[in-house]
Chains A and B, each alone.
Chain A
Amino acid sequence: MDHLVILIAHHGYLVIFLIVLAEALDLPLPASLAMIAGGAAAASGALRAPVVYLVAITALLIGDSIVYFLGRYMGWALLGFLCKVSVNPETCILRSAELFYKRGKVTLIIAKFIPGINTMAPPLAGSMKMRFEQFLCFDFVGASLYILAYGTLGYVFHRFLAVIARALGAAGHVAGVGIVLVLAGYAAYRFWLYYKNRIYRVVPRVQISELAEKLKSEEADKILLVDVRSHGYYDAGTARMKGSIRIEPNNLNEEIKRLPKDKDIYLYCT
């Protein structure tokens, strides 16, 4: 925090702009801290408050608009990527979309304050074909509230910032330990995946050429082609193997009720 204040006092508006823009582009940078520091710098006279606001709102609106248009043109691909950390990407997307749709566009006004929703809101608005002018209006209000809330916090409490900085320093230490634990957990998870997939290697595999032969022979009606992609089935014009059916891999217990036991089931993903 101390470093951030010094950095912002020296390079001021540029640093605030870059950090806020990065957060709007869904990169993990602390825009809220940058705005607190900006507010504090304004209180101490190093920066001018209206300019801090203008710089931050410009950065947020530019970043959010970029993600909005990415969502608009990439659709499920981008949403799936943003949802990847959740257990079931498809549910993550549909649930966010439903919340957005039911609670209405007002979600955008409070979205910045809710972790998880803040990264999903602009690309979802794009994917759900919200009108851009409308998106910009709601996002403007939401972004303004966000900046004013944190900027004011820094402005009012700039005298106590040293105290807060010390507290945050301690918190930063805890965060450091947390990051190490998360990384270790991720490594263990990858190892477990590797181990599990070793087991899966005993599953029989079939080459395309072999399968194509079978499909031309009298065995053909014993064959069922099954698409198990969890993404890519959402955009119009998506292709699949001729004559295949789809099952949702994340809902297997329900889906297997539709599968015949007397056929050979050939599975494929991307």
Chain B
Amino acid sequence: MREATSARVAHMLREKGFNAFVIVGGLAAWRKAGEPVEIVPSDDLVHLPMFS
């Protein structure tokens, strides 16, 4: 289901008084339209523990 997560979160945020919107098409449509993306900085990544 497209935008299912965004819609659920937007709905909940609105109930809490935030002014939330859903971006139609999500990241895929954003990229397709040629809008800028950036690589997620490594501090923001969630990591699995590793056997090394």
Contact = CB atoms under 8 A, between A and B. Distances in A.
Contacts of A265: 10, 13, 18-21
B30 A256 contact: no
Interface in B1-17: 1, 3-14, 16-17
Nearest to B14: A203
Interface string B21-35: 111111111110101
Nearest to A135: B51
Contacts, number: 163
A196 B18 CA distance: 20
B47 A234 contact: yes
Q: How large is the interface on B (under 10, 10 to 19, 20 to 34, 35 or more residues)?
A: 35 or more
A230 interface: yes
Interface residues of A, number: 62
B27 to A, nearest CB: 6
Nearest to A235: B45
A94 B9 CA distance: 22
A228 B35 contact: no
Contacts of B28: 270
| Chain B residues touching A, majority SS | mixed
28 contacts: A128-B50, A200-B10, A203-B7, A203-B21, A206-B23, A207-B24, A208-B30, A208-B35, A225-B23, A227-B27, A228-B9, A238-B39, A239-B38, A240-B27, A241-B36, A242-B36, A246-B44, A256-B13, A259-B13, A265-B20, A265-B21, A267-B10, A267-B13, A268-B6, A269-B3, A270-B26, A270-B27, A270-B28
Given A101-B49, A199-B11, A238-B40, 6 more contacts: A128-B48, A227-B27, A233-B46, A237-B39, A239-B40, A261-B18
